[in-house]
Amino acid sequence: MFNTLPQLPPDPILGLIAQFKSDPRSHKIDLGVGVYRDEQGQTPVLDAVKQAEQRLLNNETSKAYVGPLGSLQFNDLLAKLTLGETHPQLENVALVQTPGGCGALRVAAELIVRTSPKSRIWVSDPTWGNHVPLLGDAGVTLETYPYYDFATHSVRFDEMISALNANAREGDFVLLHGCCHNPTGADLTQGQWQAVTDLCGKKGLIPFIDMAYQGFGFSLEEDAFGIRLMCDQLPEVLFVLSCSKNFGLYRERVGAVAVKSDAKASVSSHIATIVRGIYSMPPSHGASVVAEILADSVLRKCWEADVSVMRTRIQVMRKKLVDTVNTAGAEGRFNHIARQQGMFSFLGISPEQVNALAENHAVFMIGSSRISLAGLNDTNLPVFAQALLKI
């Protein structure tokens, strides 16, 4: 039976990891997957994580099941990190630990299918490639709204609002990136968040916010502006969180799905049933690490400093790249990179040029020309800048 299955191409982002690994050239540069790297090109375990793991090793007393909702302590602490300790709607938020942000997205999609099967999810054009299978394979219809203008490298905000206003129906979901939009790096301003909130309120649309990079834009607080505003002003908000990047816990799979509504207990009960039917319950280790860090003021300070180091390094690489290519004659063509937020920006070059960078210069990025700025460092940045200008 299985021999009838055709072989599929690898995922565009994950396939690149394998392609990069197998390239024999020692000067190769990886600007593909969104994984933080330090100046030495390493993805180290954060200091706060190491310390929390040591404490767990000393103090953990059981490996018994955690249950479909995960760790209640983690859920409480992550809700407070996201919304702020004093948010007026905290008690109306059902937040459930999941295996990474991907697990959260899938559970969210299943919740939409079970609650309101005719609702559609509006996703930005473009959006993170894996949004489509994670949400669409659950059976939800996806629609797109205009988001990024490749000519000006900014958000097509007026078109976004008009498209949603004209085409989205009451009960539809609008997928927004909480901060550090992946793949564009172009975020909504605070005024634009307010305008989208007003539109959702007027039309009965439900925001569905994916926040995978809290702390990588401006700060842990400012990056949560949109979620906090919408939870404050709208009756229902769906959001998903990832601790992969800001806690550096990628392979431990830590995230959460959350719903702000008046029906916290019922929502939790449905999420628990969905989870039991997919993976039964989330893995424990990563969430225990996060809870250990967030609950302890010393570890938390150490982690906040770690986040700030990662954010600043990426911002510095953005500026250095723009300065270096401009000095070499780019005439401002890549200036948008210094204005944008988070790990990613588009170079705005053709797929042929992306191929030429890989083949002739051993520089790897996905075909859309999205680069992960964290892959740059003081050693490889000038090499990359030269290669870019050559092609």
Report 167-226 residues binding ligand LMR (CB under 6 A). 182
Closest to ligand LMR by CB, 116 or 130: 130
13 binds ligand LMR (CB under 6 A): yes
Encoded tokens for 222: 């400012």
Q: How far is the CB of 270 from ligand LMR (least distance, A)?
A: 26
Report 111-170 residues binding ligand LMR (CB under 6 A). 128, 130
Q: How far is the CB of 244 from ligand LMR (least distance, A)?
A: 7
82 binds ligand LMR (CB under 6 A): no
Closest to ligand LMR by CB, 71 or 244: 244
By CB under 6 A, the count of residues binding ligand LMR is 6
Of 377, 336, 366, 378, the residue nearest 148 (C-alpha) = 336
375 binds ligand LMR (CB under 6 A): no
Distance (Å) of CA 102 to CA 87, 99, 128, 253: 26, 7, 11, 9
d(CA 47, CA 387): 35
148 Cβ contact list (under 8 Å, min separation 6): 124, 125, 126, 154, 155, 156, 184, 186, 346
Q: How far is the CB of 194 from ligand LMR (least distance, A)?
A: 27
DSSP class of residue 254 equals -
Host H or E run for residue 29: strand 29-30
Closest to ligand LMR by CB, 157 or 213: 213
Residue from 29, 31, 33, 81 touching ligand LMR (CB under 6 A): that is 33
Closest to ligand LMR by CB, 68 or 183: 183
Report 231-290 residues binding ligand LMR (CB under 6 A). none
List residues with catalytic annotation: 128, 210, 212, 245
Angle of the 297-327 helix axis to the 47-59 helix axis, nearest 10: 150
Q: How far is the CB of 320 from ligand LMR (least distance, A)?
A: 21
Of 225, 136, 123, 139, the residue nearest 178 (C-alpha) = 225
Closest to ligand LMR by CB, 129 or 348: 129
Q: How far is the CB of 93 from ligand LMR (least distance, A)?
A: 24
Per CB under 6 A, residues contacting ligand LMR are 13, 33-34, 128, 130, 182
